[in-house]
Structure 1
Amino acid sequence: MSREGGCCCGQLRFRTEGEPLRSGLCHCLDCRKLHAAPFMAFVVFPEEKVTITGEARSFESQPGYERSFCPQCGAHVFGRLAKSEAGEVELHHGSFDETSLWPPEYELWTVRRDEWLGPIPSVMDHHARNRE
């Protein structure tokens, strides 16, 4: 099964093969600022199962972690370890062409979750900060 997605203007695209390793939500300050939203929804694939086409620009948001975006429209599309030892790519749910593909299994940085949001009922695994 393959899925596709990309940025707002269509210049930066990706294609995934198979199922993701995991899907989650993050309430950390970086994710909140990056998306101008109270949290970010993401899905993680093995690097070899993701093909990215088009130009992407990247910056290191934290030591060793790169976030990539389209230089034309500015849409943030993916992130990964700079030295990708883990061999994983984190794709943003909102970047996929289809919606409701993979419900989040866990959420990170719940200590920063907005009180008005409350716990996400369908998410079973909650982490005050990062996953172990």
Structure 2
Amino acid sequence: SQFVARNHNGIATAPIVAPVAAPVAAYTAPVATAFTAPVVAKYAAAYSTPLAYSAPVAAAYSAPLTYAATPLAYANAHLDAAYASSRVDLKQNYNAAVVPATYAAAVAPLRYTAAPVLL
């Protein structure tokens, strides 16, 4: 297995192949470029030119998708006032060190989360 590893896994062949492969690649690079550049340019132009004409159309249809809907807001000051007094009562009467401030915001966003379940 060491013979295979030395001779066929690139350990012993790298010093032999590298000096030969570099000049061959340098010699054939202009030939490969001469044949591939026109083909690449031809197909790149053929496939990218229609995109220039379709860009305004795509922008018109995708623009509504890029803007998130503004969440509806409702004023819940009366709920906040009632809950705030409850928090004060909890603190005074039960000495609650941690009281959740879930309803403490003056205006909370109202978001549609799921369709109602009809039974």
Tell me which interval the TM-score lies in, with the shorter structure as reference length.
Answer: under 0.3
Structure with the bigger percentage of helix: 2
**Larger RCO (CA under 8 A, 6+ residues apart):** 1
So what's the TM-score if we normalise by structure 2? 0.17
Higher strand share: 1
TM-score by length of 1: 0.16
